[in-house]
Amino acid sequence: MTQRLAVGIDIGGTNTSYGIIDREGNILAKGKMSTTEYADVNAYVEGLASKVRPLIDSAGIENMVGVGVGAPNGNFYTGEIAFAPNLPWKGVIPMSKLIGDALGLNCTLTNDANAAAIGEMKYGVAKGMNDFVMVTLGTGVGGGFVSNGKLIYGHDGFAGELGHITAIRDGRTCGCGRKGCVEIYCSATGIVITAEEWLAERRDETSLREHTGKITARLIHEAADAGDPFALELFAFTGRILGLTLADIMAICSPEAFVFFGGLARAGNILLSHVHKHMEENMLRIYQGKVKLLQSALPDADAAILGASALAW
């Protein structure tokens, strides 16, 4: 019997998504659970397995080629999650082995942005591209670098940490301990920090001041959509920093496109127009006017599990 289905699992900082997916990228079944409520990783894996097993059983385990997992700080070579600041479990977690054993299937793991890149390359806007860069703008900033049609994993499996390139020398302290990382400015977390700094330092009128709870990236996006100049300036500032960084990345791998995905990327042109302007103005002349900025067209939850499932083939 031909094995024709794969399990895709996306471990996110907040939620974990999973699905049963065929080779063409059709999602036969899917679901979602909390990541954060499991302080213990073994309890998490057991919780996950109890949700995924019924889906596997109903599709028939004999049809399964294996499991693919995308996770923050995931390592393709070792199958481990190492020192992930945005997950509840500290140190090095042999996640691929834990999930594989729990489900009785072969399991392959990579980092979440790499999984998203594979998803876009197989089923999304990067179909047919040999050289592109996936940029995930969520709680953190992630990168998946594709060159010659293959992901750049590096010699140790840890390549692609776009979020931890220095954007501003001696800038804000990042969650990783370094200073001025792209992530601490251009993630959903980063734009909120900028907003809070500006609200404390400046006197602008903005609808964000009227908000009583914690400010979120979504709130800033909604304010910008409604034309709030302060919120629009937050996106301009964030887009400039990201654009300057991408101008430098051009000089390394000259991709055909940057593909954007994740919560903050949903702002679309409110953000990307500034990314585009500052990237073009700051890149080496030979690259100007060539690279595309694309938004992922896959539904949010789907892109991650599609990419993860593709690892299993």
The contact set with a copy of itself (CB under 8 A) reads 73, 82-83, 129-132, 143, 145, 147-148, 150, 152-162, 164-166, 168-169, 176-178, 244, 247-249, 251-256, 282, 284-287, 290
Q: Are 231 and 211 in contact (CB under 8 A)?
A: no
Q: Which is nearer to a copy of itself, 124 or 143 (CB)?
A: 143
Q: Kindly state the smallest distance separating residue 201's Cβ from a copy of itself, in Å.
A: 22
Cα torsion 184, 190, 193, 198: sign: positive
Strands 150-151 vs 141-147: parallel, antiparallel or unpaired: antiparallel
Q: Kindly state the smallest distance separating residue 235's Cβ from a copy of itself, in Å.
A: 21
Q: Which is nearer to a copy of itself, 194 or 206 (CB)?
A: 194
Count each helix (H run) and each strand (E run) in the chain, helices first.
10, 12
Q: Which is nearer to a copy of itself, 138 or 243 (CB)?
A: 243
Q: Which is nearer to a copy of itself, 22 or 256 (CB)?
A: 256
Q: Kindly state the smallest distance separating residue 245's Cβ from a copy of itself, in Å.
A: 9
Place of tokens 């600041």: 85
Q: Is 286 exposed, middle or buried (0-12, 13-18, 19+ CB in 10 A)?
A: exposed
Q: Kindly state the smallest distance separating residue 265's Cβ from a copy of itself, in Å.
A: 20
CA distance 215 to 5: 41
CA distance 52 to 56: 6
Q: Which is nearer to a copy of itself, 4 or 150 (CB)?
A: 150
CA distance 119 to 123: 6
- Best CA proximity match to 135, nearest among 165, 105, 156, 108: 165
Q: Kindly state the smallest distance separating residue 187's Cβ from a copy of itself, in Å.
A: 15
Q: Which is nearer to a copy of itself, 67 or 247 (CB)?
A: 247
Longest pairwise C-alpha distance within the chain: 68
Q: Phi and psi for 8 in degrees, rounded to 5? A: -115, 130
Q: Kindly state the smallest distance separating residue 264's Cβ from a copy of itself, in Å.
A: 19
Q: Which is nearer to a copy of itself, 150 or 209 (CB)?
A: 150
Q: Kindly state the smallest distance separating residue 118's Cβ from a copy of itself, in Å.
A: 14
Q: Are 236 and 274 in contact (CB under 8 A)?
A: yes
- Best CA proximity match to 62, nearest among 3, 106, 20: 3
Q: Which is nearer to a copy of itself, 159 or 193 (CB)?
A: 159
Q: Kindly state the smallest distance separating residue 252's Cβ from a copy of itself, in Å.
A: 6
